Amino acid sequence: MKESTIKQGKRAVLLMSGGLDSYMAGAMAVRAGFECFGLTVAYGQRHEQELAAAERVAASLGVVEHKVLELDLRSFGGSALTDDEIEVPKGRGDKGQGVKIQGVAEEIPVTYVPARNTIMLALALGWAEVLGAFDIFIGINAVDYSGYPDCRGEFIKAFEEMANLATAAAVQGKGRFVIHSPLLELSKAEIIRKGVEMGLDYSLTHSCYDPAADGKACGRCDSCRLRREGFAKAGLTDPIEYVGG
């Protein structure tokens, strides 16, 4: 594509979860002509489907390298995604029971993983500095974002400032780290519509927090609900399979 000549040799690290959003954020990095390196953190999510989807998406985007880093956040627990004793809530308005995080009230769902995006971005920053990259792409969005504090623009801005004080490359004036969150202001329906226009194949992706044993998405967790509503509002058909059809 035309843009690829613009940033010849300019590298970027893409955080890849295997979901819709990081797929599109990554595709935007590729379109902008970055030489892309995908990073997936296997942090002890409930299931392996996310990692398999991240592999498919990385291959589809043609990243130079896709690294899967193991990090056992189950060791900390505190989230429905990293602690089997906390159930993934199912159904609209169900924020879940049994949150073990002291000081966290009911407005933020139990699928929130404490400091997850801070940890992910810190790891991406470390790899970026080694690669000589100053651009990191993350597919967060603040509209249909489930209420996670680390999916907001002010968090990203603060992380970026910190990153530019933390690293040798930035302090020595070789460049300035930029955290790109191109989906921040888009609704899920807008993301899906735009992604389909860009030719993305959403059958590669996985969004469900709690899939069935056969890998089918539950259709009822927050992540499935946001996805299904997004496809419905976009007037498009979701290519993945759900439990019960």
CB 70 within 8 A of CB 110: no
- Site residues for a copy of itself, 87-106, by CB under 8 A, read 100-105
In terms of residues, how long is the chain?
245
For 229, the token pair is 């509503």
State the nearest-atom distance from the C-beta of 14 to a copy of itself, in Å: 15
State the nearest-atom distance from the C-beta of 68 to a copy of itself, in Å: 9
Binding mask 26-55 for a copy of itself (x = CB under 8 A): ------------------------------
C-alpha distances out from residue 48 to 30, 199, 209, 234, Å: 26, 26, 11, 28
State the nearest-atom distance from the C-beta of 210 to a copy of itself, in Å: 20
Is residue 174 part of the contact set for a copy of itself (CB under 8 A)? yes
CB 212 within 8 A of CB 90: no
State the nearest-atom distance from the C-beta of 72 to a copy of itself, in Å: 7
Nearest to 210 by CA among 117, 111, 69, 95: 111
State the nearest-atom distance from the C-beta of 67 to a copy of itself, in Å: 6
- Site residues for a copy of itself, 125-164, by CB under 8 A, read 125-127, 129-132, 148-150, 152, 154-155, 158-159, 161-163
Residue 38 backbone zone (phi > 0: left; psi -120 to 50: alpha; other: beta) = beta
Is residue 118 part of the contact set for a copy of itself (CB under 8 A)? yes
1-31 CB burial, b ≥16 within 10 A, e <16: eeeeeeeeeebbbbbbbbbbbbbbbbbbbbe
Is residue 115 part of the contact set for a copy of itself (CB under 8 A)? yes
The secondary element (H helix, E strand) that includes residue 196 is helix 188-197
Give the residues lining the site for a copy of itself (CB under 8 A): 67, 69-73, 75-78, 100-105, 107-108, 112-119, 121-123, 125-127, 129-132, 148-150, 152, 154-155, 158-159, 161-163, 165-172, 174-175
